[in-house]
Amino acid sequence: MRNIKLVEVRSEIAAGTRGASLGIDALKIASLDKTSDFFTRFDPINVPDANNFLWRGNKHPNAKYIDGVYQVLRNVHNTIESLRMDKIFPIVLAGDHSTAAGTIMGIKAANPDKRLGVIWIDAHADLHTPFTTPSGNMHGMPLAMCIQTDNLDCQVNEPGEDTLQYWEKIKKIGGDSPKINAEDIVFISVRDTEEPEDYLINKHGIRNFETAEVRQKGVAQIAKEALEQLKDCDQIYISFDVDSLDSSISVGTGTPVPDGLTVEEALQLNTELIKDKRVCCWEIVEVNPTLDSENLMAENAFDILEATTKSLVDNF
Ligand SMILES: [Mn+2]
């Protein structure tokens, strides 16, 4: 059996709504309600967050709380790097999606010579930069950090000097080079993008398996094609944002979007994908119980977490 560790990242500073830091504990409540022993089986590591920055007020309109985000990303990077050095498989439970950049940076830092592919299951492309973001919320920026782009071709904002100093430092966590090639990103169910993101998707030919295609071809086939798309990668990281689920079921998340996956589709998809021996880390993000009804989001997310972990354990 693979050596697995749970990594808990209770960050919420990069989300637009408050409450994503409570998502991990909502998953734990769901597991208790389902009388599962999941959380007794693995030894969790707690990564320090910077949510206290929220009390100080935001000084960076085009990259909100970027000084705090920088701290958290460094913490996540350090934790994931050392786990991967010991060949441990991290299952990351996180709040806002910005910290996935720290996860990717840590995986890359532990094995800089290995080509890393990313499967991003999400309603959003998360490819914004301080120069293009309409909201300033940094949970929309992790993939841009990892491919080290500013996307100046699509610039609409003039970020301040202070903001840009932090942005430069973030892009260089784990070394001053792109952690992934844009071509080595695969999207699944991405359906709510802005023009600057579409520009990057088209420029780099990033493959997006839309929900309709998932339904038409079936989950097993999509998993096969997604992995085939990354055939030249040595390692694969899977990032599962619960807003990839349809807005009818993903009430308890910050940015729900219609036309998403069903719980069953997402569960099958993750359990299939994680069977690939190159997958070295899996992450689930953006459960927000303060927006939820009766903890339903966390209960569905927990079913996916438990089934995906079981598939990982059973297939090794
Ligand atoms: Mn996301």
Question: Mind listing the pLDDT tens digit for each residue in 246-301?
Answer: 999 999 999 999 999 999 999 999 999 999 999 999 999 999 999 999 999 999 99
Tell me, in angstroms, the distance from the centre of ligand 1 to residue 260's CA. 13
pLDDT in tens, 181-227: 999 999 999 999 999 999 999 999 999 999 999 999 999 999 999 99
What residues have their beta carbon closer than 5 A to ion ligand 1? 97, 122, 124, 126, 241
Tell me, in angstroms, the distance from the centre of ligand 1 to residue 9's CA. 15
pLDDT value for 275:
98
Tell me, in angstroms, the distance from the centre of ligand 1 to residue 123's CA. 7
Tell me, in angstroms, the distance from the centre of ligand 1 to residue 8's CA. 17
pLDDT value for 316:
76
Whether residue 127 contacts residue 197, with contact meaning beta carbons closer than 8 Å, is answered with yes
Tell me, in angstroms, the distance from the centre of ligand 1 to residue 241's CA. 5
User: 132 pLDDT exceeds 90?
Assistant: yes
Number of helical (H) and strand (E) elements in the chain, helices listed first: 11, 8
pLDDT in tens, 37-76: 999 998 899 999 999 999 999 999 999 999 999 999 999 9
Distances (CA, A) of 252 to 17, 23, 247: 11, 9, 9
Instruction: Say how many CA atoms lie within 13 Å of 190 toward its Cβ.
Output: 22
Tell me, in angstroms, the distance from the centre of ligand 1 to residue 206's CA. 16
- Choose among 82, 83, 54: nearest CA to 68: 54
Average pLDDT over every residue of 80-106: 98
Tell me, in angstroms, the distance from the centre of ligand 1 to residue 97's CA. 5
Structural domain boundaries in the chain: 4-315
User: 123 pLDDT exceeds 80?
Assistant: yes
Tell me, in angstroms, the distance from the centre of ligand 1 to residue 257's CA. 12
User: 1 pLDDT exceeds 60?
Assistant: no
Tell me, in angstroms, the distance from the centre of ligand 1 to residue 305's CA. 17
Task: Give the torsion through C-alpha atoms of 55, 169, 123, 83, to 10 deg.
Answer: -100
Whether residue 117 contacts residue 180, with contact meaning beta carbons closer than 8 Å, is answered with yes
Tell me, in angstroms, the distance from the centre of ligand 1 to residue 56's CA. 25
Instruction: Say how many CA atoms lie within 13 Å of 199 toward its Cβ.
Output: 14
Tell me, in angstroms, the distance from the centre of ligand 1 to residue 282's CA. 14
Tell me, in angstroms, the distance from the centre of ligand 1 to residue 11's CA. 14
Tell me, in angstroms, the distance from the centre of ligand 1 to residue 2's CA. 27
Whether residue 96 contacts residue 288, with contact meaning beta carbons closer than 8 Å, is answered with no
Please state which architecture CATH assigns to domain 4-315: 3-Layer(aba) Sandwich (3.40)
Could you give the strand order of the β-sheet that contains 235-241, starting from the edge strand earlier in sequence? 45-47, 4-9, 89-94, 279-285, 235-241, 116-121, 185-188, 207-209
User: 229 pLDDT exceeds 70?
Assistant: yes
